[in-house]
Chains A and B, each alone.
Chain A
Amino acid sequence: MTKDFLILFGLTGWALAVPHYGSEFAVSLALTCLMYTALSSSWSLFCGSTRYLSLATSAFFGIGAYTSALVLEGAGWFAAIGLGALIAAGVAAVMGAAVLHLRGTYFAVLTFGMTELIHHAVTTWEKQVTGTVGRVLTVVPERDTIYLTVLGLAVLAIATSILVRRSRFGLAMAGIGADEQRAQTLGVNTRLVKIGGFALIAAFAGGVGAAMSVRWTYIDPATVFNPFIGFQTVLIALIGGAATLWGPLIAAVVFSLLAETLRLQAPQIYMMSLGLLLILCVLYLPGGLASWRWPAAWRLR
């Protein structure tokens, strides 16, 4: 545990330096890295250990983004982030109570369905009641404030993962992932643990959504409830290794580099390389990139 915190400490220091020395492009790239680190590390915290594959990340991200757009002017930056996280967690608790007794494909499909439901409910509300398509955010904090907030969320997500792995809560989630019924008969209140875990990771997605919405300055439902945010989160976690602590971070960096360098010049190559990476991982590294071990012959003596 101490080693993990030391690594996290070192990486944080490195990330803190980026806005001072990096170009505009480097900061933007680092921000994408941090966003996906926060999203997929927190996703893995619950979904990797319990093996409940949630596709609802974009729902919580969008809820956070909209909360931030609505309250930022009146309530201030940190209140907007906190409220975004809180409302996303609340929605997740209700959603979880409804669907967390389902497993496997049913759970995945239903979380996706609910994401679309929320997406279209917000779209309809905006069109019918508010009479807008999107929202322009006028009061926007400094670039560095956004960067530091998302960095803070990413660090918090990993720190939470480190602590939860050592806690009874983490043990309960691992037990649910291994054999849910056995865990129940050994005294785990699985329903409470699942709803709690689901709400916890929703809070991270909501917080990240709230912070990222201001970077775009204009948001509409199609952007912030984009299901690809959810898919990419899952993809990164699986490629990196959803059961590992550092896998999602490694994959988030690889993914963001690929995304930023290839997406604009060669979007097809970008999607192809992503698909290829996923296939290679599933075939040869089912535990994710983080489970890679150098062959003994290559190791330094």
Chain B
Amino acid sequence: MNGHPLLEARGVTVRFGGLTAVDGVSAAFAPGELVGIIGPNGAGKTTFFNALSGVVAPTAGELFAAGQRLTGAAPHRFAQQGIARTFQTPRVFAALSVAANIDFGLQFAGRRRTASWLLKDAASILNLIGLSAQTALPAAAVTPSQQRLLEIGMALATRPKLLLLDEVAAGLTENEIEAMALLIRRLRDELDLTVIWIEHAVTTLLRHVERVLVLHQGRKIADGLPSEVVRNAEVIEAYLGDEMVDTV
């Protein structure tokens, strides 16, 4: 990995008119890390993801993937560099079949990338995310929780090095959230993926990640081990309250 972090943000700022959604956030992500991002609504988590995936160009600051400057590049360049993402509201190709949705990524960013056997083809990815039985159904016809899995499958089809997951557990039942967390662990453990995971289900998230970033009003107010972050005075004040200390 030529000594560079897989993905690095340096002082990334995103402004929409007068509103500063992300305010000078710096963070580096190393290969194989499982990182959580938490923060209250409107803290700039999704906007930060949009910047990390090229969907929004930062107003100021720089982005590097494995040492290569990507600031201002189009999203397909980020995908080609092995940065994949999901969207908060699943954005599957509704008219295409579940299998064709997976195939899309394989045809573009995932093409010509070396793949582990788990991401060998559409069938192996469908098997990994547990949608083998829904292969032929149109994506519009599967349940919302299956669409969330499909959204992850589409991102995996680009055969990424780093996966940005934006609230993939939102709206899921207790059991489904736990299953999702196990799937995410599996992606990191078996595929050596770096995973950055935004989630409102903080308790679940803190139990599974090794490092957590806290955003508040666009700024990064904490970055460290979950056990440290829940004891951070500013984090308790801004977001978590003090009852979280016991969960980690």
**Segment of B23-31, B64-72, B73-81, B129-137 in the binding face:** B73-81
From B76, B78, B155, A188 is in contact (CB under 8 Å) with: B76
From A168, A174, A179, A189, B76 is in contact (CB under 8 Å) with: A189
Interface majority SS (helix, strand, loop, mixed), chain B: loop
Indicate whether A168 sits within 8 Å of B79 (C-beta atoms), given known contacts A181-B55, A189-B74.
Answer: no
Residue in B closest to A188 when the chains form the complex, CB atoms: B108
Give the CA-CA distance A57 to B110 in the complex, in Å.
35
Cβ contacts under 8 Å, B109 to chain A: 186-187
> Is B93 an interface residue, CB under 8 A from the partner?
yes
Give the CA-CA distance A183 to B108 in the complex, in Å.
9
Interface majority SS (helix, strand, loop, mixed), chain A: helix
- Within the complex, the shortest CB–CB distance from B139 to chain A, in Å, comes to 10
Taking residues whose C-beta sits less than 8 angstroms from the other chain, chain A's interface range is 10 to 19
Determine whether the beta carbon of A187 is less than 8 Å from that of B55. no
| Per-position 1/0 for B75-110, Cβ under 8 A of A | 110111000110100010111100000001101111
> Is A171 an interface residue, CB under 8 A from the partner?
yes
Cβ contacts under 8 Å, B95 to chain A: 178
> Is B154 an interface residue, CB under 8 A from the partner?
yes
Give the CA-CA distance A185 to B91 in the complex, in Å.
11
| Per-position 1/0 for A157-200, Cβ under 8 A of B | 00000000000100110110011011111111111000000000
Residue in B closest to A172 when the chains form the complex, CB atoms: B108
Cβ contacts under 8 Å, A172 to chain B: 108
Residue in B closest to A190 when the chains form the complex, CB atoms: B76
Cβ contacts under 8 Å, A181 to chain B: 55, 75, 91
Indicate whether A179 sits within 8 Å of B91 (C-beta atoms), given known contacts A185-B79, A187-B76, A189-B76.
Answer: yes
Determine whether the beta carbon of B105 is less than 8 Å from that of A182. no
Cβ contacts under 8 Å, A183 to chain B: 104, 108
Determine whether the beta carbon of B55 is less than 8 Å from that of A185. yes
| Per-position 1/0 for B187-200, Cβ under 8 A of A | 00000000000000
Determine whether the beta carbon of A182 is less than 8 Å from that of B107. no
- Within the complex, the shortest CB–CB distance from A194 to chain B, in Å, comes to 12
Cβ contacts under 8 Å, A185 to chain B: 53-55, 75-76, 78-79, 84-85
Residue in A closest to B96 when the chains form the complex, CB atoms: A178
Taking residues whose C-beta sits less than 8 angstroms from the other chain, chain B's interface range is 20 to 34
Determine whether the beta carbon of B74 is less than 8 Å from that of A186. no
> Is B34 an interface residue, CB under 8 A from the partner?
no
Determine whether the beta carbon of A184 is less than 8 Å from that of B76. yes
Determine whether the beta carbon of B158 is less than 8 Å from that of A182. no
Determine whether the beta carbon of B74 is less than 8 Å from that of A171. no
Determine whether the beta carbon of A182 is less than 8 Å from that of B76. no
> Is B209 an interface residue, CB under 8 A from the partner?
no
From B74, B80, B87, B154, A191 is in contact (CB under 8 Å) with: B74
- Within the complex, the shortest CB–CB distance from A163 to chain B, in Å, comes to 16
Indicate whether A168 sits within 8 Å of B75 (C-beta atoms), given known contacts A182-B87, A186-B157.
Answer: no
Determine whether the beta carbon of B104 is less than 8 Å from that of A186. yes
Give the CA-CA distance A183 to B103 in the complex, in Å.
12
- Within the complex, the shortest CB–CB distance from A241 to chain B, in Å, comes to 14
Give the CA-CA distance A26 to B163 in the complex, in Å.
62
Residue in A closest to B151 when the chains form the complex, CB atoms: A182
Indicate whether A187 sits within 8 Å of B93 (C-beta atoms), given known contacts A168-B108, A175-B104, A181-B75.
Answer: no
From B79, B85, B93, A175 is in contact (CB under 8 Å) with: B93
Determine whether the beta carbon of B158 is less than 8 Å from that of A186. yes
Residue in B closest to A192 when the chains form the complex, CB atoms: B76
Determine whether the beta carbon of B158 is less than 8 Å from that of A187. yes
- Within the complex, the shortest CB–CB distance from B91 to chain A, in Å, comes to 5
From B93, B110, B157, A179 is in contact (CB under 8 Å) with: B93
Indicate whether A186 sits within 8 Å of B91 (C-beta atoms), given known contacts A181-B55, A191-B74.
Answer: no
Determine whether the beta carbon of A187 is less than 8 Å from that of B91. no
Cβ contacts under 8 Å, A168 to chain B: 107-108
Indicate whether A178 sits within 8 Å of B94 (C-beta atoms), given known contacts A186-B104, A186-B105.
Answer: yes
Give the CA-CA distance A183 to B96 in the complex, in Å.
13
Q: List 30 A-B contacts (CB under 8 A).
A: A174-B93, A178-B94, A178-B95, A178-B96, A179-B93, A181-B75, A182-B87, A182-B91, A182-B154, A184-B54, A184-B74, A184-B76, A184-B79, A185-B54, A185-B55, A185-B79, A185-B84, A186-B109, A186-B155, A186-B157, A187-B80, A187-B105, A187-B108, A187-B109, A187-B111, A187-B158, A188-B76, A188-B108, A190-B74, A190-B76
Interface pairs A-B: 4 shortest CB-CB: A187-B109, A187-B108, A184-B75, A187-B79
Q: Hey, which bits of chain B sit against chain A, CB under 8 A?
A: 53-55, 74-76, 78-80, 84-85, 87, 91, 93-96, 104-105, 107-111, 154-155, 157-158
Known: A181-B55, A186-B158, A189-B76. 17 other contacts (CB 8 A): A168-B108, A171-B107, A178-B94, A178-B96, A179-B91, A182-B87, A183-B108, A184-B75, A185-B75, A185-B78, A186-B108, A186-B109, A186-B157, A187-B76, A187-B110, A187-B158, A189-B74
